[in-house]
């Protein structure tokens, strides 16, 4: 039913009319209470009726984002109403995000004794030695000197051929002074390996100088002692009941990869006097040497060294009787080579 128009007197009496609640379209304000009120929901709208439905073959849309948050890459800023919010209240552990499975998807079979035996077979009680025939030749000293008594030369070398267990060894050393050979010997020995790095040797030794030649039966041991000392100890039984022994020891000290310092000591002993050969009983001679070599290759190395030699006991007396020197110190130069 239409209402009668109001007059000015009516407005003054009743006051301003209140707007109807159904038609209230107040502009949004910046009050905090208004910002916290939820946005109108769009769930009641039927977008399919508006033709907004997506094609059947189109990929599914991304899940909706919470109110006030923007999707990454959308270019829109999040709603300012979300500022100041924290995630402290969320319990991610309760959501199962950090849960891990203790068992693999494909179970791993347990290792059995058969598997262990196949992976690491037990060592053999009797290691097999290499039966390949090999050879080795070493000239440990090929040197010369020029001292007060005169010039001289000396040599010491060895070689072997055979397998890891059985070898034929040849050793020789000697010395010359002023063009005369004063000492020379040759040994031919059979070597048998009895321990790692150790051989027993037995054979013969032939002395050519000094004096007349003499033959000895030889037996001894050679190898690598603790601290990497190369050691050789040999005993001899000669003609007419003469006995002798020779002890040698040397060491190689690596100063660098190429420079090597080699100290050496050698002593000789005899069982009885042999004036014809200038040999006295007991400790006969001792030699100490210190040689510094440079290895151009592992097979070839020149060196320079200092050698001291001295006679003792009856051997020293026999030299004095012949007006010979009892001791001698000399600087030597030489080469060391092997193949």
* Each residue's pLDDT tens digit, 292-317: 999 999 999 999 999 999 999 999 99
CA angle centred on 252, ends 246 and 257, rounded to 5°: 160
- Per the CB < 8 A criterion, the answer to whether 294 and 273 are in contact is no
pLDDT attached to residue 30? 46
DSSP assignment, residue 330?
E
Q: Looking at the DSSP assignment, which residues form a beta bridge with residue 138?
A: 158, 338
Count of C-beta atoms within a 10 Å radius of residue 251 = 15
Tokens of 242: 């003469």
Fold of 134-338: Porin (2.40.160)
Segments of the chain with pLDDT less than 50: 1-44, 49, 53, 56
pLDDT attached to residue 258? 96
CA angle centred on 230, ends 285 and 203, rounded to 5°: 70
* Domain locations in the chain as residue ranges: 134-338
pLDDT attached to residue 27? 43
pTM above 0.75, yes or no: no
CA dist 94 to 65, 89, 91, 100, Å?
21, 12, 6, 13
- Can you point out the beta strands (E) in the chain? 134-147, 150-162, 166-177, 180-195, 198-209, 214-225, 229-238, 243-250, 253-254, 259-270, 282-294, 300-311, 327-338
Closest to 70 in 3D by CA, of 55, 88, 83: 83
Closest to 249 in 3D by CA, of 236, 268, 264: 264
């Amino acid at each position: 039913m239409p209402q009668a128009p109001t007059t000015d007197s009516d407005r003054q009496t009743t006051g301003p009319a209140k707007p109807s609640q159904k038609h209230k379209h107040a502009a949004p304000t910046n009050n905090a209470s208004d910002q916290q009120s939820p946005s109108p929901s769009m769930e009641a709208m039927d977008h399919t009726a508006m033709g907004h439905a997506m094609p059947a073959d189109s990929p599914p849309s991304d899940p909706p984002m919470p109110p006030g948050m923007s999707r990454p890459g959308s270019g829109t800023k999040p709603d300012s109403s979300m500022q100041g919010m924290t995630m402290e209240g969320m319990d991610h552990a309760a959501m199962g995000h950090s849960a891990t499975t203790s068992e693999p998807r494909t179970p791993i079979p347990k290792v059995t004794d058969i598997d262990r035996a196949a992976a690491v077979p037990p060592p053999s009680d009797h290691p097999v030695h290499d039966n390949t025939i090999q050879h080795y030749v070493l000239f440990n000293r090929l040197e010369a000197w020029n001292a007060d008594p005169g010039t001289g030369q000396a040599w010491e070398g060895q070689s072997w051929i055979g397998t890891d267990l059985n070898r034929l060894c040849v050793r020789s050393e000697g010395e010359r002074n002023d063009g005369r050979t004063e000492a020379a010997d040759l040994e031919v020995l059979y070597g048998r390996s009895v321990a790692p790095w150790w051989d027993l040797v037995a054979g013969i030794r032939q002395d050519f100088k000094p004096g007349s030649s003499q033959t000895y039966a030889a037996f001894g041991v050679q190898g690598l002692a603790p601290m990497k000392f190369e050691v050789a100890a040999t005993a001899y039984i000669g003609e007419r009941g003469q006995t002798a022994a020779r002890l040698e020891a040397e060491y190689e000290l690596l100063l660098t990869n190429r420079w090597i310092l080699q100290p050496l000591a050698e002593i000789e002993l005899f069982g009885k006097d042999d004036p014809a050969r200038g040999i006295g009983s007991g400790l006969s001679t001792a030699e100490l040497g210190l040689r510094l070599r440079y290895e151009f290759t592992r097979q070839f190395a020149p060196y320079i060294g200092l050698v001291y030699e001295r006679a003792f006991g009856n051997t020293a007396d026999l030299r004095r009787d012949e007006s010979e020197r009892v001791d001698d110190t000399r600087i030597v130069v030489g080469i060391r080579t092997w193949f």
